[in-house]
Structure 1
Amino acid sequence: MADKRQATKKAEAETGAGRKPRADALRNRERLLVAAKTVFSAGGADASLEAVAREAGVGIGTLYRHFPTREALFEAVYRREVEQVAELAERLQGADDPVEALRSWLHRNVELVATKKGMAAALALAAHGDSELFTYSKQRLRAAVGSLLERAVAAGAIRPDIGPHDLLHALIGLCMQHGQPGWQASVRRLIDVLVDGLRVQRGRPD
C-alpha cells in the first residue's frame, strides 16, 4: 500500500511538473510574438532574432525552440496580427456609430502594415498567391471589413457601391508611402479623408 501511495505521489508530481513547462511555454511564445512585433516594426527586416529574445526577456535558445527559423517567426507574428484585427472587427460590431467603427478598424490596420513592412521579404516567400497564409489573411481581412462595411451601408451612412475588396485595395494604396518618415500619421489622415468621402451626403444643396 505504501509503495502504491508513493507511486501515485510520484505520478502526480511528474504530471504537475509536466504542466508547468507547458504553461511557461505558452507564456514565452506570447512574449516572443509581442516582442517580435515591436522589434520588426521598429527595425525592419534586418532586426536580429537576438534583439527579439532580449525584448521578450528570454534566451535565444527559447526563441529557436518555438520558432526554428526567422520565416517561422515572421509568419507567426503576421498571423497573430491578422487574427487580432479580425477580432477587433467583431468587437466593433457593437459600436454606436458604424462609420466610426469602420474608421477605427482601418486605422488599426496601419499597425498591421507597419509590422508587415519589416518582414516583407520573408513573407513574400510564405504568403505568395497560392499559399495557405495568403488565403487565410485575405479571407479574414475581407470578412472583417465586409462585416463593418455592410453594417454602415445598411444604416444608410456609407454609399452602397463600395465593396470590401475596394476598401482593402484603397488601404494598401495609401500605405505605399510606408518608407517615408511619419508615414503612419499621414496614412491615418488619408483614411479619414477616404471614409468621409464615402459618407452618404444628406441635405446637400444642388
Structure 2
Amino acid sequence: MPNQPPDPASAKPPTAQRSDRELRADARRNRERVLRAAQQLFATHGLDVSLDEIARSAGVGPGTVHRHFPAKEALFLAVAIDEIKQLVAEAEVLAAGKDPAALFEMLSRMMANGAENVAVKSALVAAEFDLRTAAPEVASDLTRHVAYLLDRAHAADAVRADLTIDEVMALVAGAFAAIRHAGAETSRKRSAHIAQIILDGLRPQPR
C-alpha cells in the first residue's frame, strides 16, 4: 500500500505549534495589562494620559499599545467593555449565593465603578458610542444578571415591589450623571453617599 502524503497540519513541528499558542497567550496578557493600566491611569489622571504613558505603566512597548488600540477612542471603548465584563463576573458570584439583598451590593459596585470611570463613559457619550450597541452581548449579560438579583430581592420583599429592571438600570445611569454633576468623581466618600441615597429609595416603603 503506497504511503499517504503527510497531512500539512500534522507535519508542522510541535515546537512551532506551541510557539503560536504562546504568542497568542502573550498577546492576550499584554492586552489585559494595557487595559488595567489604562483604567487606573484614566481614573487617576483623566483622559489626557498618552498611549506611551499607558505603555510604560503596563510594562509593554508603545508599539504593543498602538497595535491593539490604534486610536484612543478604541482604548476608551475597550476599557468600558472590560469593566462591564468584570461586573458580569461579580454578578455571577453574587447570583450563586442566596443573599436576597445581593442586588444592593451589585448596584453599589456598579455605581462605584461608574464613579471611578466617569471620564471614560463621558468620552464615549461625547463620541456617540453606545455600549448597548457596541457590545450588546456583554451589556445584555449584565442586565440579565441584575434582573435575576432583582427577582430574588422581590421574592424576599427586600426591594420595593413596583421596581422594574429597566428602572434599575436607568437609576444606575442616573447615578453616574448625579455624581458627575456634583463634582464627586474624585471623592469615593461623596460618590458613595450619593449612591447610598439612590439605593435607599429602592428599599421597601413603610406602610
Q: Report the TM-score, using the length of structure 2 for normalisation.
A: 0.79
C-alpha distance in 2 between matches for 1:119 and 1:200: 31
1:1-206 correspondence runs (5 A): 11-99=13-101, 101-109=102-110, 110-118=112-120, 120-122=122-124, 124-125=126-127, 127-128=129-130, 132-133=133-134, 135-136=136-137, 138-176=139-177, 177-178=179-180, 179-180=183-184, 182-200=186-204
Q: What do residues 164-200 of structure 1 show as CA deviations (whole Å, max 9, x unaligned)?
A: 2212222222332333365432232233333334333
**Aligned CA distance change for structure 1 residues 60 and 189 (closer, same or farther; 3 Å):** same
4+ residue segments displaced more than 4 Å: 134-138
Answer yes or no: is the 8 Å Cα contact 2:143–2:169 preserved in 1: yes
**Aligned CA distance change for structure 1 residues 180 and 38 (closer, same or farther; 3 Å):** same
SS at match of 1:97: coil
C-alpha distance in 2 between matches for 1:157 and 1:119: 30
C-alpha distance in 2 between matches for 1:28 and 1:149: 36
Moved more, 81-90 or 52-61: 81-90
Answer yes or no: is the 8 Å Cα contact 1:75–1:123 preserved in 2: no
SS at match of 2:67: helix
* 1:119, distance to aligned residue in structure 2 (A): 5.1
Answer yes or no: is the 8 Å Cα contact 1:74–1:123 preserved in 2: no
C-alpha distance in 2 between matches for 1:195 and 1:70: 34
RMSD: 2.8
**Aligned CA distance change for structure 1 residues 48 and 156 (closer, same or farther; 3 Å):** same
**Aligned CA distance change for structure 1 residues 134 and 116 (closer, same or farther; 3 Å):** farther
Number of aligned residue pairs: 195
Letter matched to residue 75 of structure 1: L
* 1:94, distance to aligned residue in structure 2 (A): 3.1
Letter matched to residue 153 of structure 1: H
Answer yes or no: is the 8 Å Cα contact 2:51–2:72 preserved in 1: yes
**Aligned CA distance change for structure 1 residues 184 and 170 (closer, same or farther; 3 Å):** farther
Answer yes or no: is the 8 Å Cα contact 2:115–2:191 preserved in 1: no
* 1:48, distance to aligned residue in structure 2 (A): 1.2
* 1:73, distance to aligned residue in structure 2 (A): 1.4
Answer yes or no: is the 8 Å Cα contact 1:32–1:63 preserved in 2: yes
**Aligned CA distance change for structure 1 residues 10 and 148 (closer, same or farther; 3 Å):** closer
Runs of at least 5 residues in structure 2 that lack an aligned partner in the other structure: 1-5
Match of 2:3 in 1: none
**Aligned CA distance change for structure 1 residues 113 and 165 (closer, same or farther; 3 Å):** farther
Instruction: Report the identity percentage.
Output: 35
* 1:10, distance to aligned residue in structure 2 (A): 7.8
